[in-house]
Amino acid sequence: AQQASPVPGVNRQCTLEVAPEPPLYNAQELHGRLLWKEFFEDPFADATKGDDLLPAGTEDYIHIRIQQRNGRKTLTTVQGIADDYDKKKLVKAFKKKFACNGTVIEHPEYGEVIQLQGDQRKNICQFLLEVGIVKEEQLKVHGF
């Protein structure tokens, strides 16, 4: 019969019981990020593109701009997100997460551009980085 040691964490043979180290990443958080990325990817996009975020021939930047409307009202626009991602699903997530309204507009020069009400520049940057859609060096934030 083995007796309990008066010192917690040390057994009768005087060997130290070491608690297992926590993982370097939170598995649930990592799984959530992967689900977000899969959610926003367009299932009909060309699968042979590889790991490129943007189509060939375009700049590798996502531009986030703010435009003044009347009075204190502003619009935030996001341009340059790859065609691999469904922009309507992104707008839906933005609207829910940032509590604002938004839409996807077709710009003659820039293609599909996301428009959101209010100054959402910081929120969008943080969201795109968290989800893994873009790297920090690919973001260009414009405005005051």
Q: At what angle do helices 121-131 and 87-98 cross, to 10 degrees?
A: 120
Kindly list the domain boundaries of the chain, sorted by start residue: 62-142
Tell me the C-alpha distance between 105 and 111, whole Å: 8
The set of residues, in sequence order, having a beta carbon less than 8 Å from that of 128 and lying 6+ positions away, is 62, 134, 139
Question: pLDDT tens, 78-90?
Answer: 999 999 899 999 9
* 144 compared with 86, residue with greater pLDDT: 86
Output the pLDDT for position 114: 97
Residue 54: pLDDT band (50, 70, 90) is very low
CATH number of this structure's domain 62-142: 3.30.780.10
Mean pLDDT of 37-59: 55
| 89-106 tens-digit pLDDT | 999 999 999 999 999 999
The tokens 């057994």 sit on which residue?
A: 11
Identify the sign of the CA torsion 34, 47, 54, 79.
negative
**Is pTM, for the whole model, over 0.85?**
no
CA-CA distance, 120 to 65, in Å (whole number)?
9
